[in-house]
Amino acid sequence: MENLIAPLIAAPLLGAAVLLVGGRRLDRVGHWIGTLLSTASFVFGLILFADLLGKGAEHRTLTQHLWTWIPVGGFQADVTFRLDQLSMTFVLLITGVGSLIHLYSVGYMEHDERRRRFFGYLNLFLAAMLLLVLADNYLLLYVGWEGVGLASYLLIGFWQHKPSAATAAKKAFLVNRVGDMGLSIAIMLMFTTFGSFAFGPVLSHTGDASEGKLTAIGLMLLLAACGKSAQVPLQSWLGDAMEGPTPVSALIHAATMVTAGVYLIVRSGAVFNAAPDAQLAVTVVGAVTLLFGAIVGCAKDDIKKALAGSTMSQIGYMVLAAGLGPIGYVFAIMHLVTHGFFKAGLFLGAGSVMHGMNDEVDMRRYGGLRKYMPVTFITFGLGYLAIIGFPGLSGFFSKDKIIEAAFAKGGTEGWILGGAALLGAAITAFYMTRVMLMTFFGEERWRNQPTRSPGAPSAEPAAETHGEHAEPHPHESPKVMTIPMIVLAVGSVFGGAFFSIGDRFLHWLEPVTGHSEGDSPLSAAAVTGATMVCLVIGVAIAWAQYGRKPVPAVAPRGSLLTRAARRDLLQDDFNHVVLVRGGEHLTRSLVYVDHTLVDGVVNGTAAGFGGLSGRLRRLQNGFARSYAVSMFGGAALLVAATLLMRAV
Amino acid sequence: MSAAAVHSLWTTAAEPISKIDAPKIEYGQLSPTLIVVGAALIGVLIEAFVPRRSRYYAQVFLSAVALCAAFAAVVALAADGFGTTKAHIAAMGAIAVDGPALFLQGTILLAGLVGLFTFAERRLDPAAHGNRVDSFAAQAASVPGSDSEQAAVKAGFTTTEVFPLLLFAIGGMLIFPAANDLLTLFVALEVLSLPLYLLCALARRKRLMSQEAAVKYFLLGAFASAFTLFGIALLYGYAGSVSYARIAEVVDGTVTNVDPALANTMGNDALLLIGGAMLAMGLLFKVGAVPFHMWTPDVYQGAPTPVTGFMAAATKVAAFGALLRLLYVVLPGLRWDWRPVMWAVAIITMLGGAIVAITQTDIKRLLAYSSIAHAGFILAGVIATSKDGVSSVLFYLAGYSFVTIGAFAVVTLVRDAGGEATHLSKWAGLGRRSPLVAAVFAVFLLAFAGIPLTSGFAGKFAVFKAAADGGAVPLVVIGVISSAIAAFFYIRVIVLMFFSEPKPDGPTVAVPSPMTMLAIGMGVAVTLVLGVAPQYFLDLASQAGVFVR
């Protein structure tokens, strides 16, 4: 059965190759080829899943060795896949949500001339992401890691004719390089410490290594995770990445790729368990990011950027949970899966709204859309209830567990982390309610609007078919788009309950990640109660601000915090001042040193030799007599030197 | 020492006369040399008896066959084990048949064959009065610019004597590294030098320059020969013999029976040191080491370019062979005396060649100084005084000779109205006009500079490694610095060819006959093969790295 792992990756890889190499003659069927191969991969995943379920919990690890990739002495890199409960979970999420989004894209990208290429990139992404989660060693994982980075770059910049998209793609790529560097350093450290970078030897020998080395490896892995999962301080690219087509935002920048950092931390749990300092750093990053993303999400008027802030925040929850160690690993992954459902659903809903609204993204020009888009409204609404943690829906179960686990960390840390998580829950409720109210309720602010000013966020190219100046005519999206939204909404509603009742998910994942109950100062009921209170407060404030009074079509100036949050809490300003300016100063001073000192030495040497050459050249005067004298002198010296050597 | 004196010494030493054995000559083992010299003699007869119009073809055919046959003989001898287990001294102690001799003879023969192809090229110069002409003067004896020269050109004369001369020179070069006594060494030196003096004077264009070069070469060569001969005399006075083995024994102090006639001088170290130094000086003159290098740029520039290429490659191989044998077989017991001196020579040769080359403006002079710098690099390997040193020098010589002939062959192709356009400024933008020729030349320049994946790198690495292992680390450091300096002017030519605007009146690249193409092609092939997969040839050189005593 393990022979089915390779086809799992090969199917979308084949799709990418066929679609990208195939050329224009595949334009008319390309999207269906892509969707079919993605679905095939999902079916392989289901078969493997059924197989795993049929085995005992301790036999649920399959490995497939394909070939030895780099054999150099002690450096042995194999192409080996490992399918266990953790990677199985990811495989189903990636291929399942991925297939739904492929289907959705068939409708969403209908009018795009480069749709075939788009599906080729999507398939490439699936293949790389599957490689990432199925690799049996860190080096192969790194290949997938870079592969998803490439696919993300290509898809963010898919509408490369827009300078903003091209810039965003470049930004994502550059920021990710910082994280990638962390991963490569971590791999090197592993090799020097353990003599291997395969999961087995590294993770089962953490006891042999010093805590200092493990902390270093852990921090480097955390850096990698920060880059890929948009965690503070490498979070700045995610908001701009929304320049990509909305299905991309749903699949890559919400449900799957951005969670790769969480996968990396959970997979490397053994390293973090033995390095408490690194673990603490992980929880701090998670807690800071969950508040950071939530605050940014509150201030954004662009629906996709508001959701992007939310994504950042929710991944912050997952990272926080992953940093808690065995108390939190299972819940990090559980929240990851439920988040995959509801956030993908929310993004697809946002895409559907934009599809019906001439690709308008400014929520201040929405309003009252529930009448015109009932399916989108209901699915988006269910996703909304799930993310804020409405009792009974997915988010309620998974987020609640993380908050409990944060308190269970114990001590002051537990209180701080738990408090942050609770506060985050309240803010989540606020900004999501804000999105919901501004989009689907209130007055229809899109009527009788002045035409778009040139400086406003530019439309996606599909807008050309609608005409730029026409008043939007909101309408429901075609079935090919709504069906994936409905499926994801079902997942958002029932996923959490399905996983949590009887601790199904816990028992499934526990053999891989391990689990321990923490020592919580609060009872589970108390935490749930507190969460509910926060939820109600958040919703109530949002209602007071956006439900009771009309939403101004032009954003008010707002408080200092609001303005800062609109600028992503000054992340770009910070990067500009510290990194760009600092880098410029560094390069300028290096150039100065290079020009004066290095070039001076080099040019001086060259000039010196040139002058010497010109002088020596004059000895070559063309007269045979001078040459003979030089030979005679040389011979005399030779003889004299030989005699002298003997004398000495 | 006069011939009569030598004669009397021999006769006294060989008393009584009736006991002289008939000399035993191993013709089979000497066959490479015999074939080449024999073919040269036949070539002289061809000049005398074959009609003028057929001479060129007869000579080229004869020379090619002779060189191939001689090379086959070398390979057969090596395959028979004469390079390793059966190595011995043939012809009554005059000629050594051992690994280094066979390896160098093979290299010289191949270089000679490639040189022959460039000699025989007749498509580059425009046809004179309907006759195809080569690089050599129509009639060497006619005064440049005279009526008789005009008449000779009009009649379509060509100097086909160059082919026998080439074969004679090769014959001398084959003996030179194999010579096992001082007299044979000297005879070989003259046999290889005299034809080269003549060949240098034979250029079809710029004849005055060519003749000036030949005269300079001859005068200075004669001067150096005098030193050599004097050194030989002193060594004889020291050891009472011209045989390498005998001298080595005296140096080592293992000789018991002292010839009474020489009892006064034998074992006098002053004779040994002065004689050894003078002999070494004669050989250093041939390899073009500083300060005995002054002839090189003038001669390289003035000689017909095919001759320059052949001379630069093959003479260097032969002379380094002889130098190796002298230092490793005759004077190993003296190495603490000659090593420091050789260090100094190697250092000033490397630096001098590289530095003066920087300001050269003529491509042939540039290559001449480059060859001086390379002589320094090879000397670094010679000084290693180890088996690795010998084999690294052998490898270096094999790679270097093909690069050199190929590079000079490319120089013959770049022409304008005045013949070869050798001034560097005319090479500007050559890469845009003739990318292939410029690319080939760039390969040769990179090999000269010792860039990896060319034979130059493998050779330089081997030589420097041997030198460093032999304790000459400062020498290696200076060698690497010199390489860096040298890289400057090689790369400068590449930059000039590829990144400069072509001049409107720039030279054109002539389309050669297949022979020059073959010569250049062999150069490129050997350069790349020795650069990419040097191991087989390094092993070969390593097997051939032991001198017979």
- How far away is chain A from the Cα of B277, in angstroms, using its nearest Cα? 5
Determine the distance from the C-alpha atom of residue A210 to the mean position of all C-alpha atoms in its chain, rounded to a whole number.
Answer: 31
Q: How confident is the model at residue B4 (pLDDT cuts 50, 70, 90)?
A: low
Give pLDDT tens digits for B60-100: 999 999 999 999 999 999 999 888 888 889 988 899 999 99
Cα B112 to Cα B104, B179, B503: the distances in Å are 12, 19, 36
Residue B487's nearest CA partner among B386, B370, B390 is B370
> DSSP letters along A156-172, please?
HTSSTTSHHHHHHHHHH
Read off the DSSP letter of residue A362: B
Q: A627–B295: do the CB atoms touch at under 8 Å?
A: yes
Cα–Cα distance, B34 to B183 (Å, whole number)? 18
CB-CB neighbors (< 8 A) of A623 in chain B: none
Quote the pLDDT of residue A455. Answer: 43
Kindly give the pairing relationship between strand B95-97 and strand A75-83: unpaired
Domain ranges of chain B: 23-543
What six digits make up the tokens of A36? Answer: 């079919």
Q: How confident is the model at residue B385 (pLDDT cuts 50, 70, 90)?
A: confident
Q: A624–B220: do the CB atoms touch at under 8 Å?
A: yes
Cα–Cα distance, A229 to A176 (Å, whole number)? 9
Answer for the pair B410, B524: CB distance below 8 angstroms, yes or no: no
Residue A632: CB partners within 8 Å, gap ≥ 6?
B223
Query: Which residues on adjacent β-strands are paired with residue B508?
Result: B415
Tokens 């020179």: give the residue.
Answer: B169
Quick check: helix, strand or coil at residue B195? helix
Answer for the pair B225, B295: CB distance below 8 angstroms, yes or no: no
Cα–Cα distance, B405 to B412 (Å, whole number)? 11
Quick one: angle between helices B99-119 and B52-79, nearest 10? 160
Residue type at position A26: L
Answer for the pair A605, B300: CB distance below 8 angstroms, yes or no: no
Residue type at position A508: W
Answer for the pair B312, B402: CB distance below 8 angstroms, yes or no: no
At B416, give phi and psi (nearest 5°): -130, -165
Q: B281–A635: do the CB atoms touch at under 8 Å?
A: yes
What six digits make up the tokens of A555? Answer: 């954003």
Quote the pLDDT of residue A41. Answer: 94
Cα–Cα distance, A179 to A261 (Å, whole number)? 10
Question: Looking at A108-112, A181-185, B256-260, B450-454, which range is the least confident one?
Answer: B256-260
User: Within a 13 Å sphere around the CA of B391, how many CA atoms are in the beta-carbon half?
Assistant: 21
Cα–Cα distance, B47 to B30 (Å, whole number)? 26
Answer for the pair A271, A214: CB distance below 8 angstroms, yes or no: yes
Quick check: helix, strand or coil at residue B415? strand
Give pLDDT tens digits for B276-306: 999 999 999 999 999 999 999 999 999 999 9
Residue B135's nearest CA partner among B300, B301, B306, B298 is B306
Residue B336's nearest CA partner among B256, B251, B271, B266 is B251
User: Touching check for B327 and chain A: CB below 8 Å?
Assistant: no
Tokens 């990509």: give the residue.
Answer: A244
User: Touching check for A639 and chain B: CB below 8 Å?
Assistant: yes
User: Touching check for A648 and chain B: CB below 8 Å?
Assistant: no
Q: A624–B337: do the CB atoms touch at under 8 Å?
A: no
Cα–Cα distance, A357 to B415 (Å, whole number)? 73
Cα–Cα distance, A224 to A265 (Å, whole number)? 10
Give pLDDT tens digits for A362-381: 888 888 888 889 999 999 99
Cα B38 to Cα B30, B76, B78: the distances in Å are 12, 19, 21
Cα A117 to Cα A97, A122, A155, A191, B313: the distances in Å are 20, 9, 10, 38, 59
Mean pLDDT of chain B: 90
CB-CB neighbors (< 8 A) of B359 in chain A: 610, 613-614, 617
Cα–Cα distance, B354 to B483 (Å, whole number)? 8
Residue A636: CB partners within 8 Å, gap ≥ 6?
none
User: Touching check for A603 and chain B: CB below 8 Å?
Assistant: no
| Alpha helix (H) residue ranges in B176-315 | 182-200, 207-239, 244-252, 269-287, 295-302, 305-310
Quote the pLDDT of residue B516. Answer: 93
Cα–Cα distance, A179 to A426 (Å, whole number)? 30
Is the pLDDT higher at B178 or at A522?
B178
| Consecutive 10-residue averages of pLDDT for chain A (648 residues) | 87 92 85 93 94 85 84 81 93 94 91 90 95 93 94 92 92 92 94 89 88 93 94 90 91 91 94 93 94 91 92 94 92 94 93 88 87 92 93 90 89 90 94 92 78 46 46 85 93 90 87 84 87 93 88 80 82 84 91 90 88 88 91 92 84
Answer for the pair B249, B255: CB distance below 8 angstroms, yes or no: yes
Quote the pLDDT of residue A504. Answer: 87
Q: Which of A616, A617, A631 sits opposite B292 (nearest CB)?
A: A631
Residue B160's nearest CA partner among B292, B61, B87 is B61
Q: How confident is the model at residue B18 (pLDDT cuts 50, 70, 90)?
A: low
Quick check: helix, strand or coil at residue B95? strand
Q: What is the mean pLDDT of residues B106-132?
A: 90
Quote the pLDDT of residue B3. Answer: 56
What six digits make up the tokens of B228? Answer: 């050599």
User: Touching check for A638 and chain B: CB below 8 Å?
Assistant: yes
Cα–Cα distance, B220 to A455 (Å, whole number)? 85
Q: How confident is the model at residue B414 (pLDDT cuts 50, 70, 90)?
A: very high
B 249-278 near A (Cβ less than 8 A): 269-270, 273-274, 276-278
Q: A639–B338: do the CB atoms touch at under 8 Å?
A: no
Quote the pLDDT of residue A460. Answer: 45
Cα–Cα distance, A434 to A414 (Å, whole number)? 30
Provide long-range contacts, Cβ within 8 A and 24+ apart, for B233-237. Answer: B233/B1, B233/B275, B234/B271, B234/B272, B234/B274, B234/B275, B234/B278, B235/B182, B235/B271, B235/B272, B235/B275, B235/B276, B235/B279, B236/B1, B236/B182, B237/B262, B237/B265, B237/B266, B237/B268, B237/B271, B237/B275
Cα–Cα distance, A172 to A328 (Å, whole number)? 29
Residue A605: CB partners within 8 Å, gap ≥ 6?
none
For residue B310, pLDDT beyond 70 = yes
Residue type at position B264: N
For residue B208, pLDDT beyond 70 = yes
Cβ neighbour number for residue A401 with a 10 Å cutoff: 26
Kindly give the pairing relationship between strand B508-509 and strand B414-416: antiparallel
What six digits make up the tokens of B424? Answer: 């560097």
What dihedral angle (degrees, nearest 10) is formed by the CA atoms of B397, B402, B407, B411?
120
Give pLDDT tens digits for B121-166: 998 888 777 788 888 988 888 898 899 988 988 888 889 999 999 9
Residue B106's nearest CA partner among B325, B312, B385, B402 is B402
How many residues can be counted in chain A?
A: 648
How many residues can be counted in chain B?
A: 549
Cα–Cα distance, A262 to A319 (Å, whole number)? 6
Cα B119 to Cα B415, B487, B524: the distances in Å are 17, 30, 19
Quick check: helix, strand or coil at residue A302? strand
Answer for the pair B200, B303: CB distance below 8 angstroms, yes or no: yes
Maximum C-alpha span of chain B: 79
CB-CB neighbors (< 8 A) of B375 in chain A: none
Residue B343: CB partners within 8 Å, gap ≥ 6?
B383, B472, B475
> DSSP letters along A241-299, please?
GGGS-HHHHHIIIIISGGGHHHHHHHHTHHHHHT-HHHHHHHHHHHHHHHHHHHHHHHH
User: Touching check for A29 and chain B: CB below 8 Å?
Assistant: no
Q: Which of A614, A630, A645 sits opposite B359 (nearest CB)?
A: A614
At B163, give phi and psi (nearest 5°): -70, -50
Q: B358–A610: do the CB atoms touch at under 8 Å?
A: yes
User: Touching check for A613 and chain B: CB below 8 Å?
Assistant: yes
Q: Which of B281, B298, B360 sits opposite A634 (nearest CB)?
A: B281
